[in-house]
Structure 1
């Protein structure tokens, strides 16, 4: 066992200030902070959850194709107030930095060249495309996390049994800090049409298939 690993296990030993490729799986008792792990170069995609590095599930071609299609449609429809990005950390606090499939956020007062994580207070919409390895996170943990931090809108994109897409659109209840289904269109099939956070139409059928 390396000395760096012993630092986590031996009594009286000092916890390293930065995680590295040998120690990331041995967080200190209080957990890692994002500043301690952001420099890691790991052979997999990951998020920081309650101070622990969690491996993101591998995704299939269909997932990535749908994600990118939603990204392109949102970028084409966005108003000047918003920016749209995929694969970007969102900083909820120093020990929680989820990486949603797509986010819509307000870029004002953020440095284009310096931003590492988008502050959760800047996020207007989170989109998650559900795959077998992310069902619990996308349906339960992440909606609760983003709602508790006042993200106004959440879309959950699911693949139906007939291999069509269903987009579950949620709005935030500001009093309870919980999401509820969009009143007039809780689930979109074939085509997504909504006015929030800005007007957008997405041909869902066109996102599935070669």
Structure 2
């Protein structure tokens, strides 16, 4: 007589009633790097493309070199929106006075002046719909969405409209990105390539 093998215990954390909270991200053991909390659910990041990594590197480095002293530019760092939402923008610009110590794991949403998301295949709906809504509700003044258009970067630029509390598009930029907010910059988007020769 054969004996059916015992089912192995799941290694995935079981959410509590009401879902996870922002504080749980710092307490749960063995979470994959860059785990986000969206509406009380854990969101795990898929392996990223070369385009995604180069776009994140580009904006992180460029904004660090151009940002005035009152701002800090950080890549892949979570922000506290509310008890059930702690997303991790690909690049974030915050007021420098909230960067407190090397052990810090998150920033308050009210300190954020710009959130940048580089769209991946698995993050399209989050980056186009879910996150902009939450960032706007948190009153983050600027949101940029970076997309891969045939191996080249296209940046959708949004600014918070104070009367409605929603984002309004201020431009869709290719090749060159010249903006005045949150601080002046003139960026050559053609430097973001899928391969170093510019081909896909």
Q: Same fold (TM over 0.5)?
A: yes
- Conserved in 2, the CA contact under 8 Å of 1:57 and 1:134? no
1:36 and 1:188 map into 2 onto residues whose CA distance is 38
Q: Deviations over 1:40-80 (max 9, x none)?
A: 32245311112221112321111101111111000010001
Q: 1:46 to 1:114 in 2, by over 3 A?
A: closer
Q: Superposition pairs for residues 16-165 of structure 1, below 5 Å?
A: 22=11, 24=13, 26-39=14-27, 40-43=29-32, 45-160=34-149, 162-165=150-153
Secondary structure of 1:75's match?
Answer: helix
Matched, 1:198 2:183: yes
2:183 and 2:88 map into 1 onto residues whose CA distance is 22
1:35 and 1:181 map into 2 onto residues whose CA distance is 33
**TM score, norm. by length of structure 2:** 0.87
Secondary structure of 2:115's match?
Answer: strand
Bigger mean CA offset, 190-199 vs 41-50: 41-50
Q: What stretches of structure 1 of length at least 5 have no aligned partner?
A: 6-20
1:206 and 1:37 map into 2 onto residues whose CA distance is 35
Bigger mean CA offset, 173-182 vs 49-58: 49-58
Bigger mean CA offset, 199-208 vs 45-54: 45-54
- Conserved in 2, the CA contact under 8 Å of 1:50 and 1:96? yes
Aligned residues: 188
1:115 and 1:38 map into 2 onto residues whose CA distance is 10
Secondary structure of 2:187's match?
Answer: strand
**TM score, norm. by length of structure 1:** 0.83
2:18 and 2:115 map into 1 onto residues whose CA distance is 28
1:188 and 1:57 map into 2 onto residues whose CA distance is 27
1:198 and 1:120 map into 2 onto residues whose CA distance is 19
Q: How far off is 1:30 after superposition? A: 1.4
Residue matched to 1:172: 160
2:12 and 2:48 map into 1 onto residues whose CA distance is 26
